Amino acid sequence: MSPDEVVTQRQLTGVQVALKDTRWYAKYVLPFFNVRWRVPFVALDMIGRPPTIWDRDVTYTSREIRINCTASEMIAALPMDVKRFEGLLHFDPWWAFKGAGFPADLVRAVVPTNIAGRPHLLDVPRTIADVAFDRTFQCLVAVDMEDAHFGRKTFFEGTLELGKLRL
């Protein structure tokens, strides 16, 4: 997969969210993924809007998230169930959920799913430096990890057991 076909988590800050009828600015877009490397939904922390969980079509193109819905359709999706986060992971090196304005019960459910800074014993102990997704946020495609000497190595599905990153 070429670099033009993926988007990394670190690219998903300060992006425009383009809906059918309006544009919003997202401080953070955080895709959640399971141990099978699939993305069931993304969390959007938008300025001037309540944080939103979106589980339908999303596409990333040149610093913009495109969502094929209207603002009223997205607002209707606001109710969030903390059970949706069970068994999922996300990579948030900024720990945005702690200050994003999400309800306290949701923050308690989500913070433990963050794999930022967690060591993984592979050939040597490594921590996650970034993750990459396909541009439609259907799946996680790569995990970039570094060792204690900042040596980087990229892992793909089948070469890294994501379940070992859970607390």
pLDDT, one tens digit per residue, over 33-74 is 999 999 999 999 888 887 788 998 999 998 899 999 998 888
Neighbours of 80 (CB within 10 A): 20
Measure CA 51 to chain center: 14
pLDDT at 79: 59
Q: Which two tokens stand for residue 14?
A: 């300060």
Is the Cα dihedral 79, 85, 156, 8 positive or negative? positive
d(Cα 71, Cα 151) in Å, to the nearest integer? Answer: 44
Structural domain boundaries of the chain? 1-167
3-state helix, strand, coil in the chain (%, to 5): 20, 40, 40
* pLDDT tens for each residue of the chain, 167 residues long: 566 789 999 999 999 999 999 999 999 999 999 999 999 999 998 888 877 889 989 999 988 999 999 988 887 555 567 888 999 999 999 888 776 667 788 888 888 899 987 777 666 678 899 999 999 999 999 999 998 888 899 999 988 888 887 75
Query: Do β-strands 52-54 and 23-32 pair in parallel, antiparallel, or remain unpaired?
Result: unpaired
Neighbours of 150 (CB within 10 A): 7
Of 34, 89, 44, the residue nearest 65 (C-alpha): 44
Residue type, 119: P
pLDDT at 123: 66
Q: Alpha helix (H) ranges present in 86-152?
A: 104-110
Share of the chain above pLDDT 90, in %: 49
pLDDT at 2: 62
Q: Which two tokens stand for residue 132?
A: 């990459």
